[in-house]
Amino acid sequence: MADGDVVFVTGYPVMRARSVCAELLRSDERCLVYLLVRPGGSQSAREALADPVGEDRERIKLIEGSASAIDFGLSGGELESLGRDVTHIHHCAEVTNPGAERKTAERVNVGAAQEALEFARCCGKLRCLVFHSTVHVAGDRSGIVREDELEAGQSFRNVIEETKARAEKLMRSAMASMPIAVVRPATISCDATTGAVDRPDGMYFLVLLALTSSPEWPLRLPGRGEGPLNLVPSDWVARAASAIGRDPRAPGRTFHLVDPRPAAARAVFDLVARASGTRASRGSVPANLARALLRAPGLDRIARTPRAFLDTLLTLTTPVTYDARNADELLNSLGIPACPPFESYVDKLVEHVRKRIPDRGAARKDAPMEIDEPPA
């Protein structure tokens, strides 16, 4: 038994869950954290616990199960014990790869959200279930998107946006009877301190494109790049989400975790090109021609499908502004600093991706590599 908060986190060891775990331990020296890991995954999860270390390890408990299974795949005894002790839940398990199969996205994004609600109903001391969503539930909307809006007639560009929106709808429908807070981060770029990412999606693809492009050809931006490109680092998102989960004002509300002054997509593109040592053209490539960019060496070994990769690049340039009044009010009152600008950590991201690029000679010999989501 802990003498502080007892927090249950799904989705470990993917980056969002790792960041949340580290922040929970850093910000509350009395809390106990339960991490849900896939069956047989305890050893790999322990290996991922490089940080925190030392005494903090004693406050981490690994429990095997599946976020999308009935009752998380836990035994009756485990459910009863956790139900007595858990005070907070961070539901981080998700599929984010735009190339994921619909069946997988629905099982993890929607099915696991339903299981999180069922688990929450078993927790007699629950003070907050934090559902980790995304601003991309807005789909193809443009203009201003507010935190209290979800269904606004938008269309979805991929199955990830659609299933995350369906999952959030479940959570928002249960807010009247349960203490639930929804956090919607913008596009998560990396850890601002280390530059680390654990999945090849989002900004990873753009950096990879810059690093694998021929030095003789200037890099061209897919689309015009005039709209804002809202990027947030995973460690800042974890700090904000952890603070929101502990605050009694949070349940029943939705929070946009965004950069208050996002750079234009063109400026972000230039920053990536400069940090990668690549020339950036002032021109752009229409969407129907952007597919040619996928012929860059090494990309065929990283992108699950060319279409998914292109969709990722074009999604990043949506002309939309995310209003963040709820988040600004609460986080400012708690002394949580604003999101750091992308330019302050772009070099770290580029260096991290550079180290993970497969040898180009090996890329010509080996079979293409597909990226699968970690089992939830």
* Domains of the chain by residue range: 6-189+230-257, 203-229+262-319+342-365
Give the pLDDT score at 349.
95
pLDDT at 302 over 60: no
CB 36 within 8 A of CB 119: no
Say which amino acid occupies 212. Answer: T
Give the pLDDT score at 107.
97
CA triplet 116, 232, 152: central angle to 5 degrees?
A: 60
Task: For the chain, give the percent of residues with pLDDT over 90.
Answer: 61
Pairwise CA distance, residues 207 & 342, whole Å: 13
Give the pLDDT score at 371.
35
| Ranges 94-103, 217-226, 294-303, 338-347, most confident | 338-347
List, for residues 311-366, the tens digit of each pLDDT value: 666 666 678 999 999 999 999 999 999 999 999 999 999 999 998 876 544 433 33
Pairwise CA distance, residues 329 & 257, whole Å: 12
Mean pLDDT of 162-187: 97
Q: How confident is the model at residue 372 (pLDDT cuts 50, 70, 90)?
A: very low
Measured on CA atoms in the order 264, 331, 9, 147, is the torsion positive or negative? negative
List, for residues 33-72, the tens digit of each pLDDT value: 999 998 877 777 776 665 554 567 789 999 999 999 999 9
Give the pLDDT score at 232.
96
Query: Which H helix or E strand runs over 209?
Result: helix 203-212
Q: How confident is the model at residue 281 (pLDDT cuts 50, 70, 90)?
A: low
Question: What pairs with residue 223 in β-bridges?
Answer: none
Q: How confident is the model at residue 214 (pLDDT cuts 50, 70, 90)?
A: low
Say which amino acid occupies 148. Answer: D
Q: How confident is the model at residue 238 (pLDDT cuts 50, 70, 90)?
A: very high
Q: How confident is the model at residue 266 (pLDDT cuts 50, 70, 90)?
A: confident
Instruction: Name residues whose C-beta falls within 8 Å of residue 126's C-beta, 6 or more positions apart in sequence.
Output: 86, 87, 88, 89, 120, 178, 179
Higher pLDDT residue, 26 or 40? 26
Pairwise CA distance, residues 271 & 111, whole Å: 39
CB count, 10 Å around CB of 139?
20
CB 34 within 8 A of CB 10: no
Give the pLDDT score at 366.
36
Give the pLDDT score at 374.
45
Q: Which two tokens stand for residue 371?
A: 């990226």
CB count, 10 Å around CB of 204?
20
Q: What is the separation, in whole angstroms, between the first and last Cα of the chain?
A: 27
List, for residues 176-210, the tens digit of each pLDDT value: 999 999 999 999 999 999 999 877 777 887 788 77
pLDDT at 26 over 60: yes
Give the pLDDT score at 182.
98
Give the pLDDT score at 307.
54
CB 241 within 8 A of CB 20: yes
* Mean pLDDT (the chain, rounded): 84
pLDDT at 276 over 70: yes
pTM, rounded to two decimals: 0.88
| Ranges 7-16, 211-220, 235-244, most confident | 235-244
Pairwise CA distance, residues 145 & 152, whole Å: 9
Mean pLDDT of 126-152: 96
Pairwise CA distance, residues 128 & 5, whole Å: 11
Neighbour-count burial of 8, counting CB atoms closer than 10 A to its CB (0-12 exposed, 13-18 middle, 19+ buried): buried
Query: Residue-wise over 107-129: b if at least 16 C-beta within 10 A, else e?
Result: bbbbbbbbbbbebbeebeebbbb
CATH superfamily of 6-189+230-257: NAD(P)-binding Rossmann-like Domain (3.40.50.720)
Pairwise CA distance, residues 310 & 290, whole Å: 7
Neighbour-count burial of 161, counting CB atoms closer than 10 A to its CB (0-12 exposed, 13-18 middle, 19+ buried): buried
pLDDT at 20 over 90: yes
